Amino acid sequence: MQASPADRPVLTPIVRSDYKHSLRPLLWNVEEDGPVLMPLRRSALDRLLPESWCPPLTVVLILTAMALHLGFLASSACRLDLAPDEAHYWDWSRHLDWSYYSKGPLVAWLIRLSCELFGPWSERVTGSLMFAVRIPAAVCGALLLASLFQLARQVLGSARMGLVLVAVGLTIPLITAGSTLMTIDAPYTCCWGWALVFAHRAVVGRARWAWDVTGLLIGVGILAKYTMVVFVPSLALFLLFRREHRQLLFSWGFWRMCLWVAACCLPIAIWNAQNEWVTFLHVFRLAGVGASDAPLRPGSGLKWFGPLAYVGAQAGLLLGYWFIVWATSMVVANPLRDRDAGRAYLWWMSAPMFGLFLGFSFKTGGGEPNWPVTAYLSGAVLAAWWVGEVLSSPRPWLRYATSICVALTCLAGMTITVLLHRSDLAHPTIERVTGPPTAERPYPVRRFDPTCRLRGWRHLASEIDAIRERLRAEGIEPVLAGTNWSIPGEIGAYCAGHPPVYSIGIVQGDRHSQYDFWDGPVANAGPFAGRTFIIIGDVFAPCLDGFAWHEPKQTIVYTEDGRPLAGWSVTIAHSFRGFPEVRKASH
C-alpha cells in the first residue's frame, strides 16, 4: 500500500556550518514525527576531522611550527645572520625614541624588549644577538596565523577551513620569511590580521567593545608601518557600499575607533614635530609623489610599465598560482553583485590596498614587492572560500585540476622555504649555471641567492675585531664607520662588545637615514678630531678628504664551502680633521 504524503519522511536540507555561505545543501537528514534521525550519509572529512577538533589542532600546529622555527634559528645549522634591515632596527633599539626617521617606533621597542629578556642567553648559547632579535618575529608570525584561523572561523563559519588555511600558509615562503626576519612587516601584518578579526566582530557581530580593540590594533600597527592607516578607509568603503551597515559609518563606535588610532599616532607626531616632519617627506618620496632636492631627470615622470612590473612581482611573491586564486576569488566575490556580508568584508579589506599600490606603480615603477602584503590576509580567507567551492564542483575535471595545482604549489612553496633556510644546498647547482668566480663577477652565486644578504656579517665583524686589536696594540682606539645605512647595525651587532658604529654615507651622496639624526662625526666633528677610523664599504674622495692619510684598501671576502658569497672593502684612515661641506641628500 502506498504511503500517503503525510506519512512520508520529510527531507530537510542541512547546510554544514563550515559552508554556511554556500547555496548548496550538503547533507540531508530524515525527520520522522519531529525527531531528527541519524543522517543518511556523512562525508569522510566530517568523520576524520570533526569541527570540534580543529581549534586545538590549529593551536598545536602553530605552536609546533613556531618551536621548530625557533629551534632552527638557535641551532648551528642556521647560517642566516641578521639582515641589514634587522640590524638597522636593532641599532634603533639602542637609541629608544618616540619615533624614527623612516618608520615608527614599534619594531625598535619589540627588539629592545626581546634583547632585554633573552639577549644574554642568546649571546651565551648562539654566540650572537640574532636569536633574541628574531623572537618577536616568530611570535608575530604565530599570532598572524592564529588571526587567519579566527577570521576564517568567523566569516566562513568553518574552523576546519581555518585549519586548512593555516596549514597551507605554513608552505608559503612569504609567511615563513615574515616569521623569520624581524622587520616592520612582522608586527604590522600581525596587527592587521587581528584588526580584521575584531572589526568583523564590530560590524557584523555588532559588538560595541570591538570598535575600541580595533582602533588600538590599527594604531599600534601604524607604529610599525604607516600603511596600516589604509585599514580605516578600507573599512569605511565597506560600510559605505553596504546599505545594511551604512549607518555604522556615522556611529559613535566607528569614530571612537578613529580616536584610538589618532591617540596611538601621537609618538610619531611628537618626533616629527621636533624634526621638521622629515618622515612625511621620506614617505612621499618613496611613493613617487614627494619633491626631491635633485632636479627632475628625463624619464622621471610616469612609468607606464610600472603596473606590469607591480603585478609580476606580486604574482612571483605568491608563487603564481596563489595570485591567480586570489585574483579569481576577488572577481567571483564582487561585492556589487554578491550580497553576502562576510565575503564583501573580505573583498573590501583587500582590494583598496592592492589598488593603492597599483596606482603608485606608475610613479614608483613597481615599488617593493612587500608593500601591499596585507591585501592578501583577508584575501587569503576569500581565496580559501573559493577553492572550497571549486573542490565541491560537480565537474570532476575541475576538482582534480584544482587539487593537483594546490598540491604542486604547496610542494613548491615547501621546497622554496627549505632552500631559503638552507640555500647552501642549492649553491652547487647555481654554480654550475653561473660558472666559477671571475674578476668581473667575483660573487656569481650572489646573483641568484637572495639570502646572501644575510650571510657573512659575523665573519666580517670578526675580521674587524682583529683589526681593532692590532690598532689597540699600537695604542690606537679606532672609530668604526660604514659608508651607508646598512653597515653600522651589522658591525655593531656582531663585533665584540657591540661598539657604536657611525654612518658617513651622506658624505658620499647617500640618502638620509636615522644615523643622520644622531650625534656623529658628520654632524659634530669635534669629539672625533685626530681619531683613526675603520671604514667599512667603498670610500670615495669626499670621504677620504676628511683624513690626513689612509692605508691601502683591503677586501674581506666571505666564503662557504670554498665559494665566495660576499665581500667588503675596509679602509683604515688616520687623523680625522672633519668632512668637507656635505652635499644635501634627498630624503
Is there a single domain that holds both residue 207 and residue 59?
yes
- Structural domain including 13 reads 1-44
pLDDT given at position 82: 96
Is there a single domain that holds both residue 89 and residue 66?
yes
Average pLDDT on 393-408 reads 94
Is there a single domain that holds both residue 511 and residue 389?
no
pLDDT tens digit sequence for 348-363: 999 999 999 999 999 8
Residue 340 lies in a domain: yes
Grid cell in block for residue 149: 584561523
Is there a single domain that holds both residue 327 and residue 235?
yes
Residue 291 lies in a domain: no
Helix 185-203, helix 130-155: angle, nearest 10 = 20
Is there a single domain that holds both residue 125 and residue 260?
yes
Average pLDDT on 51-65 reads 95
Is there a single domain that holds both residue 186 and residue 305?
yes
The C-alpha angle 124, 129, 133, rounded to 5 degrees, equals 135
The C-alpha angle 425, 168, 155, rounded to 5 degrees, equals 155
Average pLDDT on 482-497 reads 95
Residue 448 lies in a domain: no
Is there a single domain that holds both residue 226 and residue 258?
yes
C-alpha 309/C-alpha 326 separation (Å) is: 18
Is there a single domain that holds both residue 550 and residue 499?
yes
Q: What is the bridge-based pairing of β-strands 547-550 and 563-576?
A: antiparallel
Q: What are the two backbone dihedrals, phi and then psi, of residue 490, each rounded to the nearest 5 degrees?
A: -65, -45
Grid cell in block for residue 301: 615622470
Report the domain count for the chain: 3
Is there a single domain that holds both residue 93 and residue 21?
no
Q: Which helix (H) or strand (E) holds 549?
A: strand 547-550
pLDDT given at position 9: 45
Q: What contacts 24+ positions apart, CB below 8 Å, involve 460-464?
A: 460/490, 460/491, 460/494, 460/536, 460/556, 460/558, 460/568, 461/490, 461/491, 461/493, 461/494, 461/495, 462/494, 463/556, 463/570, 464/491, 464/495, 464/534, 464/536, 464/570
Quick check: 294 pLDDT over 80?
Answer: no
C-alpha 445/C-alpha 435 separation (Å) is: 9
Q: What are the two backbone dihedrals, phi and then psi, of residue 573, each rounded to the nearest 5 degrees?
A: -115, 135
pLDDT given at position 280: 83
Is there a single domain that holds both residue 158 and residue 75?
yes
Looking at residue 229, its amino acid is V
Is there a single domain that holds both residue 175 and residue 210?
yes
C-alpha 378/C-alpha 350 separation (Å) is: 6
Residue 356 lies in a domain: yes
Residue 326 lies in a domain: yes
Query: Across the chain, what does the average pLDDT equal?
Result: 88
pLDDT given at position 281: 82
Quick check: 8 pLDDT over 60?
Answer: no
Q: Of 394, 419, 444, which residue constitutes the final position of a domain?
A: 419
pTM score of the predicted model: 0.89
In whole angstroms, how far apart are CA 486 and each of 14, 453, 505, 511?
Answer: 59, 10, 10, 12
Residue 534 lies in a domain: yes
pLDDT given at position 184: 96
Q: Please say whether the beta carbons of 579 and 509 come within 8 A.
A: no
Average pLDDT on 113-142 reads 94
Residue 49 lies in a domain: no
Residue 481 lies in a domain: yes
pLDDT tens digit sequence for 493-502: 999 999 999 9
pLDDT given at position 44: 55
Is there a single domain that holds both residue 480 and residue 395?
no
Q: Please say whether the beta carbons of 461 and 483 come within 8 A.
A: no
User: Which residues lie below 8 Å from residue 337, measured CB to CB, with a gap of 6+?
Assistant: none
pLDDT given at position 295: 39
